[in-house]
Chains A and B, each alone.
Chain A
Amino acid sequence: MEFNQSHVAPLIDDEFQGQASKRVLSYIQGKRRQGMPVAGLYCVYAPMELIRAAGVVPAGLCSFANKTIPPAEAVLPANLCPLIKSSYGFIVTDSCPFFALADVVIAETTCDGKKKMFELITGYKPLFVMDLPQLPDQEEACRNWTAMIRNLGGFLEKTFERRISEARLEEEIQATNVKNNLMNRLFGYAAATPPVLSWNEAYELGLLAQAASTEDLQPVLEHALETLEQRKVSGVHYGKPRAPRVLVTGCPLGGDSLKAYRIIEEAGGVIVALDACTGMKPFKHFIEEGSGDPLAALAAYYLKIPCSCMTPNQKRLDDLDALIERFRPDAVVDVVLHACHAYNVESYKIMNHLKERHRLPLLKIETDYSNGDVEQIRTRVEALFDSLDR
């Protein structure tokens, strides 16, 4: 799949074309050289604004490569989710450059597998585990998560011998809202028919935006917006005009599991929405500004993330409704990593909701980071497109 014109200008005009992770690594290395400490993160529940307000750079840790799974399986059971196995494998083989740069690691109790894996990596770097409430609609959830965020603040202040001021927190909250607003405008170009933004560009923008501060990112995103607007004006679009539009939901994808996106494209689909923590999900909502209680505002904001570890996860359905209205997909693909019970079980609810509310078909793909099932997945995706009444 490609653009309908040759020589389409890239959105991020730098030397890292096709090397999104290297771009992020180079950014974090630059901050490190300026003397900023680094916090390694495993999940988008980590409160970025607090971390940044402490003058610390957040760095997403490696978790998407098949190659680190065999060494992990020397310790972890084979029937565990590949994301957890890969993360652990990166650490025991000392092959994650982000982990190498990290002074501390911040982790959340999203699922049992991760929680127990964190116990095995406590000896490598100072680790701060946050107890994530899983009934977000209950009143106590926000109070408890606020307390956890406050504790994390204490941990960062103590570790790095500094104070996090409320004023700095408030500034970071405002900065995230500016960033999310820009990101949402960018994603809007994927909502066009046919789309002007490719899934890979959306993915790469998301990856960079998780690491970079709004101050550093704003000129990049504004340039990307101008580039997209020029594309639109000159009739550039991505994929075949009549290609089935696909919304991909489910587990976080990256590295080797990006095969799911590639197969969908090779089968003739065009991906218009990435409903994953490594896609559009972290940029969807806004944080209350000037609330007088920035920690509580942060807690409320992060509890809006509809991870399948939450119950009952009505927000996932609500967010899907909004995504469907905006991106108008013809089909939804739910990508579930092997042994991710929460996303796997939730898939049934998603399927029924999509059928009843939107008359949209859902294809669930259960996969891992290997290439052994590419042809089987291809058959299912092709059959999904065959079954669309278009």
Chain B
Amino acid sequence: MDSRAGLATLWRWLLAGSILIGVVWWPEVSEAQRRQDRPNAEAAEAAIAQLRSPYCPGLMLEVCPSASAAALRDSIYNLAAEGQTTDDLVEWMLARHGEEWRGVPQRSGIGLLAWVMPPLGLLIGVGVLVGWIRASRARADEVVEEPEEPISETDRDKLAAALREWEATGGEEA
């Protein structure tokens, strides 16, 4: 590739990059906007994010649109305003409604099983795959390749034409 062609390519990429910057311009959301205007709201939000809603099958409490769920969220915000921690708020809700509404498994006891198994499975999979590829590579080194079918005249002509073109474009394209 000569220097002019290289500069042209670089220019094209800079232009594309500039367009991308314009397209994906994405200012940060102010945290204040995301939070409810209540004291200790972070603790309440963290607790609500860990709980499933008893009023919407399968939905988390934070997104359940039912009026009863809204009332429960309000209660949690009010308790948070009184100074309760996230763990206290979660336990308060579970004590009233039952352990089955915990939406995020605990990282201890039987709940730990939920967190450990997926990464463990992936790790085992990686180990098996790496071992299998290594063994396969070792077998490949032992195999003596048979000579392939000779190339046809048509293919030879097309290959020659393509190679000429490839060389003409500096070997970068085609």
A and B interact physically: no
Interface residues of chain A, those whose CB is within 8 Å of chain B, are: none
